[in-house]
Structure 1
Amino acid sequence: MKEREIAVFGGAHVDRRGRISGATVLGASNPGTWFEEAGGGGFNAARNLARLGHRVRMISPRGGDAADDIVAAAAAAAGVIDCPFIFLDRKTPSYTAILESDGNLVIALADMDLYALFSPRRLQQRAMREMLAASDLVLMDANLPEETLAALTDTASRGDRLVAGIAVSPAKVVRFRECLSGLSFLFMNEAEARALTGAEVSEADEWPALLRAAGLAGGVVTRGDRAAVAFDRSGTCLAIPPALPALADVTGAGDALASGFLAARLSGLDVAACLRHGIAAAGITLRSPFAASEEMSASNIERALALVPVPQMLS
């Protein structure tokens, strides 16, 4: 696989996850365990793409605190070129989640105010312009302000490269609304697709028409263990993720799917093959306790593909 230049803009912070040991009881104290690691939609994808053999730069604002050290160490361990904007008088953003015993999310709190300081003006710096010009893929997540996403998409989409987004959450995906036409792909779950379009649908194959009408040329909508749908200008496909005996943690699975999909796209594969690769990458992450699995590799994705059904192409 040819090494490609990738620039990732977005969240790189500390994830704190508590996992309830037994049945979840709302409004009460629940016994469980606590886990802390580096995370963020963009950063998870950056580490996955680096482990898949690409040269990846991560650009994100961080504070001058111990959490910054955690992120920097995780970047080095994954082979990501760390390019932060450091605000010494601020704290690094954080994401705190409570998970049920089966790994599904109960509730989460995102302390992300620092990302609002990543203004479009920073993209005008010479180093940023040169980085964008040299990139085969520019990936961003919706932790960034709406105006920064618009400026980044406008600049990146002028060249012959992939430009992709990660929705992050229903509350944040709407920040992409004004720049959808500049994206090659947007990766989202069904709740995020509803927030973006304002539509309620019952079948996965209804999403592509709605998202195309909103201005999006390509995208993927995941639906947990139900069929995921992917589309681009050439067509639409559906694929059902393989059943897993147990989930270690759902955190990062969507970011992994985006990583596997985009790595396959950089290799020239069509939308159906890309979706299979994305689902295979997500499966590797779902079996891992980490948001960016240390087992992510091109060879492990090839092995995982044996479990992923061939997508159904739709007219």
Structure 2
Amino acid sequence: MTGKTILVMGGAHVDRRGRIAGETTPGASNPGGWFVEAGGGAFNAARNLARLGHAVRLVSPRGGDADGNIVAAAAAAAGIEDTPFTFLDRATPSYTAIIERDGNLVIALADMDLYRLFSPRRLQQRAMREAVAAAGLILTDANLPAETLAAMAKAAAAAGVPIAGIAISPAKVVRFEQTLSALAFLFMNEAEARTLTGATPENPADWPKALRAAGLAAGVVTRGGRGVIAFDATGAVLVTPPEIPALGDVTGAGDSLASGFISAWLAGRDFGEALRHGVAAAAITVRSPLAVAEEMSQAALAAALSLVPQAEWMA
């Protein structure tokens, strides 16, 4: 796929996921097993975008440790141009999660202290200014400090480059609050949307109104296995995800939805089709035990897209 490089600046760390083998028993020892892989919202999306044929450059803080090597190897395997800020005396960030047998999250712990060192001053470096100016789109996530996200949005606007964000979690999405009006899109789930708006609409059609009132011009709200909502200045659409008979792991599903949406949007597809592509990419991911499905490709996306219903325009 041709086009300018997608510049990804955000979370790229190590995911450790413990999967419970039987029925979950809170407050007790549960038999299961551990799985370790590279992760991070921005990095998951970056690898999916690279596998969909886009040129991708990654910029993210990293420690000089074995976990940093895991991230570097994953970036190389995906064909990403990897240009980290490396701190040899620090630990690479990590995310540790407990997953139920059916693939749903029980609880997680995020050790993300190193991301604080991705300060706005980093964006003032000549190499970073040139990278922003040369990008076709910037993708970031709420793992970075709020002031860095604001500086990134300002730099993107000055360069005339669209910027999109991934919310990451209800606790972190607030870092986008001062940047919402500058985003081309923000990808979030209902819990994150609720944090931004303070609203809990009974009718899903009311999410766009609530998010616009919070200052967001365009975004995507996932709702588990229910319809996914996307909106921009032209209106709002809903796409119902297809049934997934064998759920692998929901980790990374939202990140892959963002990558499928962005890939289609950059290719000039209309708003509803972009959302369908995002839902198809998420369907590929949730069938996989990995946060980034190895089979992700344009061909796999086309096959998955055939199972996704047409977008419904919402009043």
| In 1: Cα distance, 2:308 partner to 2:162 partner | 25
Calculate the TM-score normalised by the size of structure 2: 0.99
Pair 1:201-2:201 in alignment = yes
RMSD across aligned C-alpha pairs, in angstroms? 0.8
Aligned-partner SS, 1:307 = coil
Aligned to 2:53: 53
Pair 1:185-2:185 in alignment = yes
Aligned to 1:100: 100
Once the two structures are superposed, the pairs formed by residues 152-163 of structure 1 within 5 Å of their partners are 152-163=152-163
Aligned to 1:176: 176
| In 2: Cα distance, 1:2 partner to 1:87 partner | 34
Aligned-partner SS, 1:33 = strand
Offset at 1:2?
2.5
1:20-67: CA deviations, max 9, x gaps?
A: 000000000000011000000000001001111111011100111000
| In 2: Cα distance, 1:274 partner to 1:2 partner | 18
Aligned to 2:260: 260
Pair 1:28-2:38 in alignment = no
Contact 1:163–1:182 (CA<8 Å) still a contact in 2?
yes
| In 2: Cα distance, 1:35 partner to 1:134 partner | 37
Aligned-partner SS, 1:309 = coil
Aligned to 1:288: 288
Contact 1:250–1:286 (CA<8 Å) still a contact in 2?
yes
Offset at 1:159?
3.5
Pair 1:38-2:38 in alignment = yes
Offset at 1:286?
0.5
| In 2: Cα distance, 1:151 partner to 1:301 partner | 34
Contact 2:251–2:291 (CA<8 Å) still a contact in 1?
yes
| In 2: Cα distance, 1:106 partner to 1:81 partner | 34
Offset at 1:233?
1.2
Once the two structures are superposed, the pairs formed by residues 237-276 of structure 1 within 5 Å of their partners are 237-276=237-276
Aligned to 1:115: 115
Offset at 1:208?
0.4
Aligned to 1:214: 214
Contact 2:132–2:159 (CA<8 Å) still a contact in 1?
no
| In 2: Cα distance, 1:300 partner to 1:154 partner | 36
Gaps of 5+ in 2: none
Aligned-partner SS, 2:212 = helix
Letter of the 1:283 counterpart? A
Calculate the TM-score normalised by the size of structure 1: 0.99
Runs of 4+ in 1 over 2 A off after TM superposition: 1-4, 157-162
Aligned-partner SS, 2:25 = coil
Offset at 1:4?
3.1
Gaps of 5+ in 1: none
Aligned to 1:80: 80
Percent identity, please.
67
